[in-house]
Structure 1
């Protein structure tokens, strides 16, 4: 998949007459609703024998439009978003820099200066997609603004678990630690990517050596607690249990850490980039009076982790 970064005003080098099918959206999470939009675009592109493209934005529009300082934690940072889209058959990913000037475009200006200039002959987006200044442009107006230059497909609402499948709903379940619900709405386990760094190395002294993971600050983590996870290391996936917390049994520092105990694993992996799949929340972080109590709890966590994955294997 080719990634092209756009900045307003659109540079001449990106203006083309080569036809594409273009999917529109921010697509944080690339969840099942997003997948429906992208698959529709990919199918239309295949039918026409042309390339499938997606336009997304960076940074999150709310960071630019908010009148106060705002940070956003992403379900899928840009690189991961691209990886998921490539799996769905996207040929080109347009990453449009979301700036004050770009956000000031009227709906018809956005359509003419971007969608048309990029060569779109068919545009696909979700029913609630909006565009242009103040999000005034709606899907029912898109074909009109296009002046017959492209066709439009509007993908309807996808619902599950008595709610719309959306990034907002997924964030809510993630903040609650309901990883089963997150998995169902994403259509895959929630993943975080990070680098293995040196920690206190206390775990190895009590029989539970952990890999400390440094995660990008703009990536959403599940809430504090202990989880059944899988970790991808050098292309191999291992069952694991992961703690998100502050090591309150040993110290009072307020530095959040992510520590992974990899089952049946004995290797040095400092500096490796790993991916954690989050499957099941077990318990909150607990403070113990001594190491003995902590070790007993960790043994129970390991049993619960193995039982969880053994149960998954039987279900499959």
Structure 2
């Protein structure tokens, strides 16, 4: 799969939308698109549409993370489209971009999509087929980005994983922190993520980190550090188990598996160390159970 800008193409099969969270419904849609494209020997294109002004509350999945999840499905091209920068409205987006520049001959969408009849009406004169799939369900409810976000804010990450078919991830670069974790014998990797990335509620989490092709269990603290410096700065700090390499500046993929506890203030570093050891036992037990 290649990421590209919008350019002239012909006879493509396309899916478009926000794909925030890249949940089971999105994955089913994209797999159906890939299957149809391979069957008919057509180029498949996924267009991720986003509005920067709607991102103040943060996104579940950045454009880089969407591409990460989509790249193994068999899609040929991935396009990130800033709808505000392009100055596009819905119908002009359909006619100028999807049906015009991309030359779509099939559009894959969900049968419960808002505006489905309008989409069919606009596509018909272009000889473009609109194909639909049934929605993905979780406990009898249609899986949507808003439902995933609700469970996310409730720290129900096991349910988030079930609805998405993958863990919640944060992709970023390891940046220099204040190295205060070393004072308690726990050097941590400080993850820098995009400004619009939605961070899990402040707390301690069981995580897995993928860096340089390897996977490591970890204990991640998200939020301020009231027992260390009490600065009003939210950080994402991970203590990687059985890891000692220098990875500053490297890319890391952090998988958030389980909420352990909220952020607490301790009287001294000895209490911090004691609690961390208890947290690590819970982290290891949980992550080992997944294996």
**Shared topology, TM-score over 0.5?**
yes
Of 14, 24, 28, the match for 1:32 = 24
CA distance in 2, matches of 1:274, 1:100: 29
Q: Which residue of 1 aligns with 2:178?
A: 200
Q: Which is further off, 229-238 or 71-80?
A: 71-80
- Bigger Rg, which one: 1
2:280 aligns to what? 302
Q: How does 1:71-82 map to 2 (within 5 A)?
A: 71-82=56-67
1:180 matched to 2:164? The reply is: no
Partner SS for 1:87 = coil
Q: Deviations over 1:194-230 (max 9, x none)?
A: 2222222222222222112222211111111111100
Superposed, which structure 2 residues align to 1:247-286 within 5 Å? 247-286=225-264
Please name the residue that 1:129 is paired with: 113
CA contact (8 A) 1:25 1:129 kept: no
Distance in 1 of aligned mates of 2:197 and 2:41: 37
Question: How many residues are treated as equivalent by the alignment?
Answer: 289
Q: Deviations over 1:25-80 (max 9, x none)?
A: 111121110111111111111111111111222335xx27xxxxx62411111122
Give the superposed CA RMSD. 1.9
Asked whether 1:44 is paired with 2:36, we answer yes
Q: Pick one of 115, 118, 134 that aligns with 1:141.
A: 118
| CA deviation vs aligned residue, 1:62-100 (integer Å, no higher than 9, x gap) | x27xxxxx6241111112212222211111223333128
Q: How many angstroms apart in 1 are the aligned matches of 2:261 and 2:93?
A: 48
Report Cα offsets for 1:290-315 as digits up to 9, x if no partner.
111111101101111111122222xx
Deviation beyond 4 Å, 4+ runs, structure 1: none
Which runs of no fewer than 5 residues in structure 2 stay unpaired? none
C-alpha contact 2:180 2:228 (8 A) present in aligned 1: no
Consecutive unaligned residues of structure 1, counting only runs of 5 or more, are 7-13, 65-69, 131-137
The CA distance in 2 between the partners of 1:158 and 1:31, in whole Å, is: 9
Does structure 2 conserve the Cα–Cα contact (< 8 Å) formed by 1:20 and 1:53?
Answer: yes
| Aligned counterpart for 1:111 among listed residues 90, 94, 97 | 94
Kept in 1: contact 2:16–2:49 (CA 8 A): no
Classify the secondary structure of the residue corresponding to 1:205: helix
Superposition deviation, residue 261 in structure 1: 0.7
1:93–1:100 distance in 2 versus 1, CA, 3 Å: closer
Contact 2:20 2:59 in 1 (8 A): yes
Distance 1:101 1:2 in 2: 21
* Partner in structure 2 of residue 133 of structure 1: none
Assess if the C-alpha contact under 8 Å between 2:99 and 2:126 holds in 1: no
Question: Matches of 2:254 and 2:180 in 1, distance apart?
Answer: 21
In the alignment, structure 1 residue 3 sits paired with structure 2 residue 3: yes
The whole-number CA distance in structure 1 between the counterparts of 2:277 and 2:174 is: 23
TM score, norm. by length of structure 1: 0.85
For 1:115, what is the secondary structure of its paired residue? helix
